[in-house]
Amino acid sequence: MASIKTGLMGTLLLASSLSGAQSQSYSTRGGMVVSDSKTASDVGAEILRKGGNAVDAAVATGLALAVTFPSAGNIGGGGFMVVRMADGETVAIDYREMAPGKAFREMYLDESEDVIPGKSTVGRWAAGVPGTVAGFWEAHQRYGSLPWKDVVEPAVRIAADGYVVSAGRASVLRSRADRFKPFADSYRVFCRDGDFYEAGERLKQPELAATLSRIRDQGRDGFYKGETARLFAEDAKKHGGPFTIADFDNYVAKVRTPLKGTYKGYYIVTMPPPSSGGAALIQMLNMLEVRPTGRYGPSSPLYVNRLVEVMKRAFADRAAHMGDPDYNDLPVDNIIDKGYAAELAAGISVFATPSSEIKAGVFPPKEGRNTTHYSVVDSAGNAVSNTYTLNTGYGALVIAEGTGVLLNNEMDDFTSKPGVANTYGLIQGEANSIAPGKRPLSSMTPTIVVKDGSLFMVTGSPGGPTIINTVLHSILNVVEHDMTIQEAVAFPRFHHQWMPDSVEWGPGALSKETRETMALLGQETYPTEYGLGSCHAILIGPNGRRWAGVDPRVSSSGASGSD
């Protein structure tokens, strides 16, 4: 073993170049919106030009994404928003989906207590009560400056008039035809009953426009009461599903205190449970303060190994301890404690620790890859980091009849059976078991970074459990490797989530030499065609100029500014 260590040291200290990373970035001195849809970013920028602030633009962008980015943008799902106002006030808005009243702990198990394949991911029974409209309404009521109708109207207009289908979107919709076909409204809207959309045609969604019009005119009640709630309940009654009018009437967005941490003089503001992402992010940064990586290149074997070992330990605690804080006493303070991080970091060496040997901490009692993230900063310095989702691509594949709204399949984010992996391979504990009104655990990690008291960075990503590590990469690439924000979000990424015990790496992330060295260190690696997230970030330069990080992994992505 000693001879292996000696022979490896030269290889381990090699730094990689930024080959393939895009260095050019859009910038502005005014407000900025960066999202997975240039059309939606343009909507947000339009709101900023009309005098709206970052929260107004965030709401308008999110509603526009529900029309133009149907695989993840939504009003039929939920998510999390972290807001930092220019005066330093911060808030976290939890609009995660809730389990309907008919939900119960064993609802996805058969008579032998085995998980029924597909029941928690496809069809109406996979859906939790949507939270997006309630969350946007809460944020706007607290911080918005323009009238509600003004921020909703652009989405109504796009849904009614249609948006131009790209070649990529046309291909994806055609490829999903067999999956949409069992659900009549979904097949009609997205596949035109087999007369598939071609690139350049306009996709109009009149039922969705009608639902958005009710939201525009009636606010929150336009979704959770009256006609829309009735349509959801009737759809469930007609086709089989859990929703009742009471489920919608009882939904509430929760205003929570953000989690806060520090890393080498940077102040981290991020999402608390029921997202596990914020706690895991802070925990990993705490470990990296003790076992720093700054002298290693961002693709060098030693850097990759160090981050992988940190990821393993954070995800082990995630599996054991994270859930809905309204139903569990969660040891969050212990998990993000710097002393605990030092204990974990002490066990990290140059060689891999098998995941089977990594146990979650014992403390005293007390999200599909098809999520989407966007970041907003206005000219005054107000900032919003928002991540929301349907879970997997196009959620449960069901449009609730008459609403135009795609339902989420977030119930799969609960533990169908403790110890059995979900669709992302995540093993989760009893704290995340199913119960009526409960919110499933998530990995969404909307994050704002502050330096010397001033806004420095707004970041976040989709990607299921890879979200947490993507956000970690985006911060470290800027802070430790002096990348521009565009280089930071474009740079190849890798991921480990404790179980399964292997390193997942996206295109270009690990060279052949790095993989060979990693194998000698005891790390199993495997490639994925996925880019591991789609990080959209904004960096604020010392002169106040905003720089966009637009992730090239999604072809429709784009930034838009207000000047």
Q: pLDDT, tens digit, for every residue of 538-552?
A: 999 989 999 999 999
Q: What's the CA gap between 363 and 328, in Å, rounded? A: 14
pLDDT value at 347 more than 60 = yes
Which residues have a Cβ under 8 Å from the Cβ of 401 and sit 6 or more positions away? 184, 185, 231, 234, 235, 238, 239
pLDDT value at 362 more than 70 = no
Catalytically annotated residue among 371, 392, 466, 484:
371
Q: What pLDDT does residue 425 have? A: 60
* 32-35 and 78-84 strand pairing: unpaired
- The structural domains of the chain, ordered by start, are 27-162+204-255+369-424 (no CATH), 277-321+331-365+494-530 (1.10.246.130)
Mean pLDDT, range 341-351, rounded to an integer = 94
Tell me what percent of the residues of the chain surpass a pLDDT of 70.
Answer: 92
pLDDT value at 18 more than 90 = no
Orientation of helix 54-68 relative to helix 148-161, angle to 10°: 20
pLDDT value at 8 more than 90 = no
Residue, of 25 and 234, whose pLDDT is higher = 234
Q: CA of 290: how far to CAs of 302, 341, 344, 447, in Å? A: 15, 8, 10, 22
pLDDT value at 210 more than 90 = yes
Contact assessment for residue 385 and residue 458, using Cβ atoms and an 8 Å cutoff:
yes
pLDDT value at 6 more than 50 = no
Mean pLDDT, range 489-504, rounded to an integer = 94
Tell me what percent of the residues of the chain surpass a pLDDT of 90.
Answer: 83
- The secondary structure of residue 370, as a DSSP letter, is T
* 20-29, 90-99, 304-313, 334-343: range with lowest mean pLDDT: 20-29
User: How do residues 395-433 score in pLDDT, each as one tens digit?
Assistant: 999 999 999 999 999 999 888 777 666 655 655 567 888
Average pLDDT of the chain? 92
- The secondary structure of residue 130, as a DSSP letter, is P
How confident is residue 366, by pLDDT bands cut at 50, 70 and 90? very low
User: How do residues 297-315 score in pLDDT, each as one tens digit?
Assistant: 999 999 999 999 999 999 9
How confident is residue 342, by pLDDT bands cut at 50, 70 and 90? very high
Is the pTM above the cut of 0.85?
A: yes
Contact assessment for residue 129 and residue 186, using Cβ atoms and an 8 Å cutoff:
no
Q: What pLDDT does residue 290 have? A: 95
pLDDT value at 17 more than 70 = no
Contact assessment for residue 440 and residue 273, using Cβ atoms and an 8 Å cutoff:
no
Preceding amide of 182 cis, omega within 30: no
Contact assessment for residue 375 and residue 548, using Cβ atoms and an 8 Å cutoff:
no
pLDDT value at 437 more than 80 = yes
Instruction: Give the residue among 160, 197, 158 at the shortest CA–CA distance from 176.
Output: 197
Mean pLDDT, range 215-242, rounded to an integer = 97
Q: What pLDDT does residue 38 have? A: 96
pLDDT value at 3 more than 90 = no
Q: What pLDDT does residue 428 have? A: 58
pLDDT value at 321 more than 90 = no
Active site residue 371: yes
